[in-house]
């Protein structure tokens, strides 16, 4: 006859077996010190403590199995569940009562993860990363695991403290410990790390195992959204934050655009994927790291060394496998000492670099933050001032404005200025000036059919609406 046939779930035979083991363990513990009239050594005491913890875990498991069988027995008798395995799957000599067989088979099906029970569900690497983030949210003491009170707060916040199971998990610590140990698996050695630590806390691996068991009924995405956490992994969030910070500096590009004589080129989307080396401190500040100038130079040196190493690795990989997909990393990103390139920067920033903890005074940190915020404010003012100009250029390009007037630059000089519009409107800015006759002569007898034309002259604004043709001016093209 099968061993489970002798155990009547209603009589609590598992509980009796656990109590007998508990009594025997206490008697053995009392006799351990009196054996041969001496006290146990430190090594023996450690072994005894480990055996006691292991015995306590087995006792808790026996109580849990007994409780599970009693509950599933009641469900089978009430017709709420039908076992997946029939009596034909057992050995011929296992002729036992139908109710006892059903309770055992139901427990087997539940642990196997069939349709009759939840069972463990596979979690991707992203889901396990997010599960650890959920654990850290409720880890009040920051020890990397959940105690009974922290796990109870986790259930209360998610609204799972109701019902028979929820009430027992939030009120009975021993039941909670056996429950999470049963879901996550047996504990491992302390130096390896297990599902439940020896001090009675649920570790990260145990919490991931718990999430596997409840994934079918309570999806992880729903819990993350309920707690206001991002569904993206932290590494991807960091990558997006660093990339957006780089693109922001690249889009502003005040110094680089001015040196190339391309005023407003950055505002039109002419990004070259690089920023000036002197803007690295602002770039790091936008990425969430406050560093001094000396620290920034050290980080840039490390970034250059990393880019050179990655370039050698990529080239070696291309030689070995021509079909390998590798990210392009140009030599200019490595050899250019004045610019920082996006590909090399992101590759170094996300390479798991070991950041050394350095002591920085409170005053220095606040001065660095103030400096970067001033830089950011100046950039924002420049972008705000240039916004009307960009809007005007877009309206002209889209044809929504048929003519434009001259826009004064700081010096009042207009070199190769192109005027768009019809003849009548072109003469409007020059009323009462000496340049009106010159402009009319340049326009000539062009037919004013409303289609518009362009003419370019050089003028000098003397003030008070007086314009004078610049000597040596010649026709040309261009638009401010």
- Which residue, 187, 207, 226, sits at the end of a domain? 226
Instruction: Note whether 204 and 248 are same-domain residues.
Output: no
314, 327 in Cβ contact below 8 A?
yes
Residue 398 forms part of a structural domain:
no
User: What pLDDT sits at residue 127?
Assistant: 83
Residue 408 forms part of a structural domain:
no
Taking the CA atoms of the chain, what radius of gyration do you get in angstroms?
38
341, 303 in Cβ contact below 8 A?
no
410, pLDDT greater than 70: no
Chain position carrying tokens 């009196």: 34
153, 137 in Cβ contact below 8 A?
no
Please give the average per-residue pLDDT across 253-274, as a whole number: 50
Strand partners, 196: 202
Residue 231 forms part of a structural domain:
no
Residue 449 forms part of a structural domain:
yes
Query: Can you give the residue range of the structural domain that contains 201?
Result: 125-226
Q: Which residues touch 303 (CB under 8 Å, ≥6 apart)?
A: 340, 344, 345, 348, 349
SS3 (DSSP) at 415: strand
Please give the average per-residue pLDDT across 301-305, as a whole number: 79
Q: How many residues are recorded in the chain?
A: 480
Instruction: Note whether 246 and 216 are same-domain residues.
Output: no
Instruction: Note whether 169 and 210 are same-domain residues.
Output: yes
Instruction: Note whether 280 and 262 are same-domain residues.
Output: yes
Mind giving me the DSSP string for 185-220? -----TTT--SB-TTS-B-HHHHHHHHHHHTTTS-H
Please give the average per-residue pLDDT across 335-341, as a whole number: 71
Instruction: Note whether 255 and 348 are same-domain residues.
Output: yes
Higher pLDDT, 39 or 70: 70
Sign of CA dihedral 430, 436, 438, 439: positive
* Token reading at 195: 């599902």
Instruction: Note whether 209 and 328 are same-domain residues.
Output: no
**pTM (whole model) above 0.85:** no
Please give the average per-residue pLDDT across 199-209, as a whole number: 79
Short-list 415, 413, 475, CA closest to 442: 475
Instruction: Note whether 358 and 433 are same-domain residues.
Output: no
68, 108 in Cβ contact below 8 A?
no
Instruction: Note whether 241 and 222 are same-domain residues.
Output: no
Residue 380 forms part of a structural domain:
no
How many structural domains does the chain have? 4
CATH code of the domain containing 200: 1.10.238
- Which residue, 87, 112, 137, sits at the end of a domain? 112
Instruction: Note whether 97 and 175 are same-domain residues.
Output: no
Short-list 172, 159, 198, CA closest to 56: 198
- Residue 435 pLDDT grade (very low, low, confident, very high; cuts 50, 70, 90): low
240, pLDDT greater than 50: yes
User: What pLDDT sits at residue 439?
Assistant: 55
User: What pLDDT sits at residue 5?
Assistant: 40
- Which residue, 205, 226, 247, sits at the end of a domain? 226
Chain centroid to CA 339? 28
Mind giving me the DSSP string for 30-73? HHHHHGGG----HHHHHHHHHHHHHHHHHHHHHHHHHHHHHHHH
Instruction: Note whether 366 and 252 are same-domain residues.
Output: yes
Residue 475 forms part of a structural domain:
no
User: What pLDDT sits at residue 89?
Assistant: 44
Residue 146 forms part of a structural domain:
yes
Orientation of helix 173-184 relative to helix 42-77, angle to 10°: 90
User: What pLDDT sits at residue 329?
Assistant: 55
Please give the average per-residue pLDDT across 251-261, as a whole number: 53
User: What pLDDT sits at residue 91?
Assistant: 44
Instruction: Note whether 85 and 172 are same-domain residues.
Output: no
- Report the C-alpha gap between 465 and 127 in whole angstroms: 69
Looking at every residue in the chain, the average pLDDT score rounds to 64
469, 459 in Cβ contact below 8 A?
yes
Instruction: Note whether 92 and 158 are same-domain residues.
Output: no
Residue 479 forms part of a structural domain:
no
**HSE-CB for 111 with a 13 A CA cutoff:** 14
List b or e across 351-378, with b for residues whose CB sees 16 or more CB atoms inside 10 angstroms. eeeeeeeeeeeeeeeeebeeebeeeeee
User: What pLDDT sits at residue 335?
Assistant: 62
445, pLDDT greater than 70: no
User: What pLDDT sits at residue 419?
Assistant: 42
């Amino acid at each position: 006859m099968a061993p489970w046939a002798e155990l009547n779930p209603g009589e609590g035979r598992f509980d009796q077996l656990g109590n007998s083991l508990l009594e025997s363990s206490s008697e053995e513990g009392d006799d351990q010190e009196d054996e041969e009239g001496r006290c146990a050594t430190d090594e023996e005491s450690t072994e005894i403590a480990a055996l006691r913890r292991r015995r306590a875990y087995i006792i808790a498991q026996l109580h849990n199995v007994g409780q599970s069988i009693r509950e599933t027995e009641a469900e089978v008798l009430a017709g709420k569940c039908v076992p997946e395995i029939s009596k034909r799957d057992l050995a011929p000599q296992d002729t036992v009562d139908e109710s006892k067989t059903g309770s055992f088979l139901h427990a087997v099906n539940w642990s196997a993860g069939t349709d009759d029970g939840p069972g463990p569900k596979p979690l991707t690497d992203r889901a396990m990363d997010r599960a650890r983030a959920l654990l850290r949210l409720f880890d009040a003491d920051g020890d990397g695991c959940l105690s009974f009170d922290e796990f109870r707060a986790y259930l209360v916040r998610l609204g799972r403290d109701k019902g028979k199971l929820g009430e027992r998990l939030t009120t009975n610590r021993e039941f909670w410990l056996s429950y999470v140990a049963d879901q996550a698996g047996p504990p491992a050695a302390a130096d390896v790390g297990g599902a439940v630590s020896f001090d009675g806390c649920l570790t990260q691996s145990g919490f991931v195992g718990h999430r596997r068991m409840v994934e079918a009924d309570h999806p992880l995405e729903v819990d993350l959204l309920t707690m206001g956490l991002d569904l993206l992994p932290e590494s991807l969030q960091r990558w997006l934050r660093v990339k957006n910070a780089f693109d922001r500096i690249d889009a502003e590009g005040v110094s680089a655009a001015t040196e190339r004589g391309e005023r407003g080129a950055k505002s039109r989307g002419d990004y070259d994927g690089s920023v000036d080396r002197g803007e690295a401190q602002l770039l790091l500040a936008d990425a969430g790291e406050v560093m001094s100038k000396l620290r920034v130079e050290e980080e840039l040196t490390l970034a250059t060394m990393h880019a050179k190493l990655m370039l050698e690795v990529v080239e070696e990989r291309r030689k070995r496998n021509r079909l390998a997909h590798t990210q392009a990393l140009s030599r200019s990103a490595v050899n250019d000492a004045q610019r920082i390139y996006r590909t090399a920067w992101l590759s170094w920033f996300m390479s798991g670099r070991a950041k050394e903890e350095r002591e920085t005074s409170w005053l220095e940190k606040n001065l660095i933050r103030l400096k970067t915020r001033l830089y950011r404010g100046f950039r924002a003012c420049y972008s705000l001032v240039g916004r009307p100009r960009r809007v005007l250029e877009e309206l002209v390009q889209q044809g929504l404005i048929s003519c434009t007037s001259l826009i004064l630059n700081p010096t009042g000089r207009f070199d190769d200025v192109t005027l768009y519009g019809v003849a009548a409107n072109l003469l409007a800015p020059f009323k009462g000036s000496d340049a009106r006759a010159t402009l009319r002569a340049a326009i000539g007898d062009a037919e004013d059919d409303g289609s518009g034309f362009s003419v370019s002259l050089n003028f000098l604004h003397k003030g008070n609406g007086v314009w004078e043709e610049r000597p040596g001016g010649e026709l040309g093209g261009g638009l401010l």
